[in-house]
Amino acid sequence: MEISDFKLLEITTASRKLPHWSADHATYWVTYRLADSIPKIKLDAWKTELAEWTAKHPPPWDEVTKKEHRERFTLRIEKWLDAGMGSCALARPDVREEARKSLLWFEGERYELRGAVIMPTHVHCVIKPFKGHTISSILKSIKNASGLRANRILGKTGAFWQAESYDHIVRDETQYENCLRYIRENPLKAGLKEEAYWLYERYPRTT
């Protein structure tokens, strides 16, 4: 962990249905999920509310705004994901293995994977892209490769992952530690047995 991870000089914004921020030398908290993990009507309403809120609250955020964002959006989507709606295809060891391999394929070459957990309906990870690689291109590669192979296993066609990913810049060391703690604790809080998820910790705790 380098202090420079959180000294971001310039932030740029891109948007499809969800807003995305990027910056050189940034570390990102990322969530991507199965296409059927959340009912469309709930997800569309969440996206609309998030886009409207973000337009009124551009970064950087103070602590009060961060708390509001987490309570209104992050916690709500996490609750839906942990509810285990949809096919829960990632609970299958063979499908989960494809997601794992795709996450690690370019680790150390295009990015550093600081931590990750593959849950039955979604993936949480902390990623630091290397120079010349963007978070959007990294996620596109990971999702395309794993989605194609997972569909072959399942005998299906069409979208395996939700097109949009949820990503945001980790702005300080406290937030960074909170993200890694969430990854570590998510399977336990969801009541999952060890065989139902995959956990990766690049810097595991020594105590």
Q: What is the pLDDT of residue 77?
A: 85
- With a CB cutoff of 8 Å and minimum separation 6, the contacts of 78 are none
CA 74, CA 193: separation in Å to the nearest integer? 24
Domain ranges of the chain: 3-201
pTM of the model: 0.79
CATH 3.30.70.1290 fits 3-201, yes or no: yes
pLDDT tens by residue, 104-122: 999 999 999 999 999 999 9
Q: What DSSP element (H or E) covers 78?
A: helix 75-82
Give whole-number Cα distances, 127 to 99, 113, 130, 149, 184, in Å.
Answer: 15, 5, 10, 22, 15
* Residue 160 and residue 58 in contact, taking contact as beta carbons nearer than 8 Å: no
pLDDT tens by residue, 142-194: 999 999 999 999 999 999 999 988 888 998 899 999 999 999 999 999 999 99
Q: 95 or 207: which carries more pLDDT confidence?
A: 95
